[in-house]
């Protein structure tokens, strides 16, 4: 059982272009049989031929170290074209020094390629080649955490088998191509942390199998199209840190499987949509910094799976619904920097359970009763005692009307750069990454 000479030579040339070890070919003259390497996998050819073909190349810290780390001048060799049976090509944290681009002629002929992942390569520059759209069998395309630039090519719409598209944490610009809406097998769409602008195409509502849509930290604007409400299998929707305006369509009420709804730091304005109370599977809801007005809906009491609720930095008025304290799973509540008022009537055991994960600051007309069992809660929660508030009112402390709360920060959509994305996701996106793993598995 052997390899074809041209394919073997192509593998040697590809690895020589990537790895520091100049003797890799000598150490692995039979990479499919007698001298294997952890990052190379092979399969027997069809037609009962006893010939091995390379079907996978994976290079990353998990496989490579301490065997053969990438060289500073690593690049993608055109000899990849000699590996005609390759299904998976994944290169992680390899292009870190010398600038590397994706050759326009490299991927089009790969009729067998199913999984392409080039991730965490800070020296991978340039545009996404339009030729990638010709790899019709591609199921996973992940080019996250690189330094790619330019527009997302509309030719991606030709990847009819694509299930996962992750272009997050790059410098991509332009609009989201409407052609993406034609990728009927798509389950994950992640374009977060780029500079993508314009409106969300209505065609995204055709992605009936979509489970995750993450577009946070871009420059998207205008309304969320009602068509997004057609995504019946959606589990996560993250549109935070953009310039999207309201109102949020009532069609969202049909997203029965939605667990994560993150729209914070967008100029949505208006009231909190009542239909959110119908999203029974919701675990995390974030609408902070959206310019929201009106009161907190009492219908939130039906969200029994809710673990995190963030409504801070808005202009919400009225009382804090006491029934929020009866939500069995709620472990984080942020309603800071609003215009909430009245007596805080959340149960004491709920307040004690949340501790510092309960944020009520910046609501100047909200107070807490001075009961003996709560005598230290006023200072702990950084809200005044109702007794002190009454005394100050009696002394005309608020003569001429209540003081304006100046402690709240402006929503980040007032700034020209709504959000900075670090090289690695924050804690929330670690949660999201875990969710993605669950979806894939």
Instruction: Based on the fold, state whether residues 48 and 154 are members of the same structural domain.
Output: no
Selection from 214, 168, 219 nearest residue 187 by Cα: 214
Model pLDDT, residue 111: 74
CA distance 284 to 287: 10
Domain range for 248 is 58-66+86-440
**Contact (CB, 8 A) for 355 and 331:** no
**Contact (CB, 8 A) for 193 and 168:** yes
Model pLDDT, residue 190: 98
For the stretch 15-30, pLDDT in tens is: 999 998 889 999 999 9
Strands 332-334 and 358-359: parallel
Give the chain's domain count. 2
Whether the predicted pLDDT of 137 surpasses 60: yes
Query: What is the average pLDDT score of the chain?
Result: 86
Instruction: Based on the fold, state whether residues 176 and 262 are members of the same structural domain.
Output: yes
Strands 2-3 and 51-59: parallel
With the CA atoms of 309, 313, 317 and 320 taken in that order, what torsion angle do they form, in degrees rounded to the nearest 10? 30
* Residue ranges in 258-384 assigned as alpha helix (H): 348-354, 377-381
Instruction: Based on the fold, state whether residues 62 and 72 are members of the same structural domain.
Output: no
Sign of CA dihedral 95, 98, 104, 109: negative
Strands 219-223 and 243-245: parallel
Q: Between these two residues, 68 and 235, which has the higher pLDDT value? A: 235
Question: What CATH code is carried by the domain that includes residue 405?
Answer: 3.80.10.10
- Give the residues across from 151 on adjacent strands: 173
For the stretch 157-199, pLDDT in tens is: 999 999 999 999 999 999 999 999 999 999 999 999 999 999 9
Instruction: Based on the fold, state whether residues 197 and 120 are members of the same structural domain.
Output: yes
Among 300-309, 338-347, 373-382, the least confident range: 373-382
Average pLDDT over residues 345-349: 91
Selection from 425, 2, 436, 435 nearest residue 217 by Cα: 425
Radius of gyration (Cα) for the chain, nearest Å?
A: 27
Q: Token pair 């994706």 is at which residue?
A: 102
Whether the predicted pLDDT of 8 surpasses 50: yes
Query: What beta strand segments (E) does 95-245 contain?
Result: 100-101, 115-119, 124-125, 140-142, 149-151, 164-166, 171-173, 188-190, 197-198, 212-214, 219-223, 236-238, 243-245
* pLDDT band for position 68 (cuts 50, 70, 90): low
Instruction: Based on the fold, state whether residues 282 and 254 are members of the same structural domain.
Output: yes
Instruction: Based on the fold, state whether residues 37 and 173 are members of the same structural domain.
Output: no
For residue 66, is the peptide bond before it cis, meaning its omega torsion is within 30 degrees of 0? yes
Whether the predicted pLDDT of 415 surpasses 60: no
For the stretch 308-334, pLDDT in tens is: 999 999 999 999 999 999 999 999 999
Instruction: Based on the fold, state whether residues 326 and 428 are members of the same structural domain.
Output: yes
> pTM score, two decimals?
0.88
Instruction: Based on the fold, state whether residues 77 and 94 are members of the same structural domain.
Output: no
Whether the predicted pLDDT of 90 surpasses 50: yes
Average pLDDT over residues 121-137: 94
Instruction: Give 260-263's long-range contacts (Cβ < 8 A, gap of 24+).
Output: 260/235, 260/236, 260/284, 260/432, 260/435, 261/237, 261/285, 261/286, 262/216, 262/236, 262/237, 262/238, 262/286, 262/428, 263/237, 263/239, 263/287, 263/290
Average pLDDT over residues 393-414: 36
Selection from 197, 291, 274, 200 nearest residue 237 by Cα: 200
Instruction: Based on the fold, state whether residues 197 and 76 are members of the same structural domain.
Output: no
**Contact (CB, 8 A) for 324 and 347:** no
Cα separation values, 80 from 49, 55, 109, Å: 23, 12, 10
Whether the predicted pLDDT of 395 surpasses 80: no
For the stretch 260-273, pLDDT in tens is: 999 999 999 999 99
CA distance 100 to 24: 22
Instruction: Based on the fold, state whether residues 15 and 112 are members of the same structural domain.
Output: no
* pLDDT band for position 48 (cuts 50, 70, 90): low
Instruction: Based on the fold, state whether residues 118 and 232 are members of the same structural domain.
Output: yes
Helix, strand or coil, per DSSP, at residue 279: coil
Query: What's the burial of 10, exposed, middle or buried (CB within 10 Å: 0-12/13-18/19+)?
Result: buried
Instruction: Based on the fold, state whether residues 101 and 164 are members of the same structural domain.
Output: yes
């Amino acid at each position: 059982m052997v390899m074809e000479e041209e394919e073997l030579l192509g593998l040697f040339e590809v690895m020589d272009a990537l790895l520091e070890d100049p003797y890799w070919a000598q150490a692995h003259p039979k990479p499919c049989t007698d001298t294997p390497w952890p990052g190379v996998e092979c399969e027997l050819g069809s037609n009962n031929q006893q010939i091995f073909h390379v079907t996978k190349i994976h290079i990353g810290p998990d496989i490579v170290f301490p065997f053969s780390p990438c060289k500073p001048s690593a690049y993608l060799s055109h000899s990849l074209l000699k590996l005609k049976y390759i299904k998976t090509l994944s290169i992680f944290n390899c292009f870190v020094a010398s600038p590397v681009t994706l050759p326009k002629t490299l991927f089009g002929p790969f009729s067998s390629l199913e999984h392409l992942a080039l991730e965490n390569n800070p020296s991978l520059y340039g545009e996404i080649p339009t030729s990638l759209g010709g790899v019709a069998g591609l199921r996973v395309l992940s080019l996250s955490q690189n330094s790619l630039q330019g527009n997302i090519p509309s030719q991606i719409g030709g990847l009819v088998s694509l299930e996962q598209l992750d272009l997050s944490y790059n410098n991509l610009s332009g609009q989201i191509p409407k052609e993406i809406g034609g990728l009927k097998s798509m389950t994950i769409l992640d374009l977060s942390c780029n500079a993508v602008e314009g409106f969300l195409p209505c065609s995204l509502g055709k992605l009936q199998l979509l489970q995750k849509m993450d577009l946070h930290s871009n420059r998207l604007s205008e309304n969320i199209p009602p068509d997004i409400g057609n995504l019946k299998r959606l589990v996560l929707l993250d549109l935070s840190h953009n310039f999207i305006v309201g109102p949020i369509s009532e069609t969202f009420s049909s997203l029965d499987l939605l667990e994560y709804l993150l729209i914070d730091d967008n100029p949505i304005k208006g009231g909190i949509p009542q239909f959110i109370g119908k999203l029974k599977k919701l675990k995390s809801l974030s609408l902070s910094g959206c310019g929201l007005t009106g009161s907190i809906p009492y219908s939130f009491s039906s969200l029994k799976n809710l673990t995190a609720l963030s409504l801070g930095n808005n202009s919400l008025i009225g009382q804090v619904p006491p029934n929020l304290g009866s939500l069995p799973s709620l472990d984080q509540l942020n309603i800071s920097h609003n215009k909430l008022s009245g007596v805080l009537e959340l149960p004491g055991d709920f307040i004690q359970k949340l501790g510092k994960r309960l944020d009520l600051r910046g609501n100047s007309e909200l107070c807490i009763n001075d009961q003996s069992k709560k005598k230290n809660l006023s200072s702990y929660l950084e809200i005044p005692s109702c007794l002190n508030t009454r005394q100050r009112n009696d002394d005309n402390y608020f003569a001429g009307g209540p003081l304006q709360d100046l402690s709240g920060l402006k929503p980040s959509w007032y700034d020209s750069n709504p959000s900075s994305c670090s090289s690695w996701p924050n804690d929330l996106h670690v949660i999201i990454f875990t969710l993605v793993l669950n979806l894939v598995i």
